């Protein structure tokens, strides 16, 4: 497994709380704005979609790429961030 970013480590190190969607690994301002336009303004709303999709990597990657036009690396970073967070806190 590749090394994780500081953003990823920061996100998974503590409870979700009211974090902005842009605090998710792989989600910068542009992708964050695209998510916000679709009603996903907080990290927990993206987590909700992750859970609705049963934590399935393929389904989540398809959804995030369709919703934001994220590239594969961005989508993978976001998936891995949510997966590690949910493994630790759920």
**Which domains are assigned to the chain?**
6-89 (1.10.150.40)
pLDDT at 1: 46
Mean pLDDT of all residues in 23-33: 97
CA atoms within 13 A on the CB side of 12: 18
Percent of the chain with pLDDT over 70: 98
pLDDT-derived band at 3 (thresholds 50, 70, 90) equals: confident
The pTM of this model reads 0.94
pLDDT-derived band at 2 (thresholds 50, 70, 90) equals: low
SS (H, E, C) the chain: CCCCCHHHHHHHCCCCCCCEHHHCCCCCHHHHHHHHHCCCCEHHHHHHHHHHCCCCHHHHHHHHHHHHCCCHHHHHHHHHHHHHHHHHHC
4: pLDDT strictly greater than 90: no
pLDDT digits (tens, 9 = 90+) for 42-81: 999 999 999 999 999 999 999 999 999 999 999 999 999 9
């Amino acid at each position: 497994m590749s090394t994780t970013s500081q953003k990823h480590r920061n996100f998974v190190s503590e409870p979700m709380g009211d974090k902005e969607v842009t605090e998710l690994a792989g989600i910068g301002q542009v992708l964050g704005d695209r998510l916000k336009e679709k009603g996903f303004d907080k990290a927990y709303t993206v987590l909700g979609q992750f859970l609705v999709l049963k934590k399935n990597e393929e389904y989540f990657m398809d959804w995030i790429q369709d919703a934001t036009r994220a590239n594969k690396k961005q989508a993978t970073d976001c998936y891995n961030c949510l997966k590690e967070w949910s493994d630790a806190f759920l």
